[in-house]
Amino acid sequence: MQQQTNEHADVVIIGGGPVGALAALRLARAGREVTLVEARGRDEAVRDARALALSWHSRELLREAGAWPEDLPASLIDSVHVSQQGACGRTLLQGEDVGLPHLGAVVDYPALVAALGGALERAGVRVLWRHRVRTVKSLSHYAVVTVTSDAGESVLTCRLAVMAEGGALAESLPGVKRLSHDYRQCAVLAEVRTELPPKGVAYERFAHDGPLALLPHGDAYMLVWTRSAEDAARLQAADDAEVAAALQQAFGERQGRILSVGPRAAFPLALKQLNRVVSGRVAMIGNAAQTMHPVAAQGLNLGLRDAAGLSAALAGAADPGAAAALAAYAAARRVDSHAVVGFTHGLIKLFDGHHPVVSAMRSVGLSALDALPPLRRKFASHLVFGV
């Protein structure tokens, strides 16, 4: 393989998804020389069916970085309705609970990636498109990132390497282990049209066959339904009318009749979390640090807070890879990440059983959350801003 000349930057960020791109934009704005490494080609179509549910705080982080233009096609979330199938009790979270105009927004992944790409170009961030990272090593005074492309292999040196994507690279670093839990479930995604328009309401429904979310998506909804791997395969292959009938039974008639369910995509679900997010001169953010179940839609929001937290911890540091600065990042993110991962995992366990006594206790909890404004405000604040 052809060897190219070594290059150097203050910070090399691995992964050009929303989390890596936000980190690059914030660090570049702070005066850091940043190189972003992305496996996708610059003009390559983004094939990802996900609609992203972003908290209002995440939306503001992206707007401040120049990655949320006014014409970005997004659907606002004004309230979140939480309930469980076959039992009374529900709670309604609203923007006014946390003093915000909206709780969040839903945007298609390709649209957000395109907006971030434009922001990176305007900010002058160097992006190595269609480059794949082969190895990452941390030395005493710098980190070494080996990348490959159609032109051959090259070596990037930097004072700090940031991993923003999943994979086995992080586990090759000294002292880093990935803890994982396979839920043996899949997230089934599809566009759903209902008799009544969304009107800014997102639904979180703990159904018998698995939790589901309906997210405002233009004049329709995006369905995220957690099912067993077998059920997910069956729903993908089933007739649209059969899926609509199953969804109607699980969700009820709060939006009137389910008029149609589009083609289904399915993604396997697992909880993965690193035992540490710093190793030498390498920091992990976003999916490189943790991936989680989509219930409560906290994964990407947590990752964007990782990116913001890293840039905040490095503010004023002469050396972005200095141990003290990275220790501050790790300490600042520990509480938020562990709390969100624990909360998400706990929700799955809490709503997994269908014993009548357990169901009744869940109903009481949802009703109490709705009836006690201070508790509801605190809960909503955690969902929007993290811990």
> Are 334 and 278 found together in one domain?
yes
For residue 305, give the CATH number of its domain: 3.50.50.60
- Tally the domains of the chain: 2
Show the domain range for 26.
Answer: 7-49+109-179+271-347
pLDDT at 1: 46
239-277 pLDDT, tens per residue?
Answer: 999 999 999 999 999 999 999 999 999 999 888 899 999
Q: What is the 3-state secondary structure (H, E, C) of the chain?
A: CCECCCEEEEEEEECCCHHHHHHHHHHHHCCCCEEEEECCCCCCCCCCCCEEEEEHHHHHHHHHCCCCCCCCCEEEECEEEEEECCCCCEEEEEHHHHCCCCCEEEEEHHHHHHHHHHHHHHHCCEEEECCEEEEEEECCCCEEEEEEECCEEEEEEEEEEEECCCCCCHHHCCCCCEEEEEEEEEEEEEEEEECCCCCCEEEEEEECCEEEEEEEECCEEEEEEEEEHHHHHHHHHCCHHHHHHHHHHHHCCCCCCEEEECCCEEEEEEEEEECCCEECCEEECHHHCEECCCHHHCHHHHHHHHHHHHHHHHCCCCCCCCHHHHHHHHHHHHHHHHHHHHHHHHHHHHCCCCCHHHHHHHHHHHHHHHHCHHHHHHHHHHHHHCC
pLDDT digits (tens, 9 = 90+) for 325-336: 999 999 999 988
98 and 153 both lie in a single domain: no
54 inside domain: no
Predicted local distance difference test score (pLDDT) of residue 286: 94
pLDDT at 42: 87
> Is residue 174 situated within a structural domain?
yes
* 124 shares its domain with 201: no
**Same-domain status, 216 and 86:** yes
The CATH number of residue 376's host domain is 3.30.9.10
One domain, residues 170 and 42: yes
- pLDDT attached to residue 98: 85
Q: Which residues of the chain have pLDDT under 50?
A: 1, 387
Look at residue 94 in the predicted model and tell me its pLDDT.
87
**Per-residue pLDDT, 194:** 98
Please indicate, yes or no, whether residues 151 and 37 belong to a single structural domain of this protein: yes
Check whether residue 190 and residue 334 sit in a common domain: no
Instruction: Let me know whether 113 and 35 are in one domain.
Output: yes
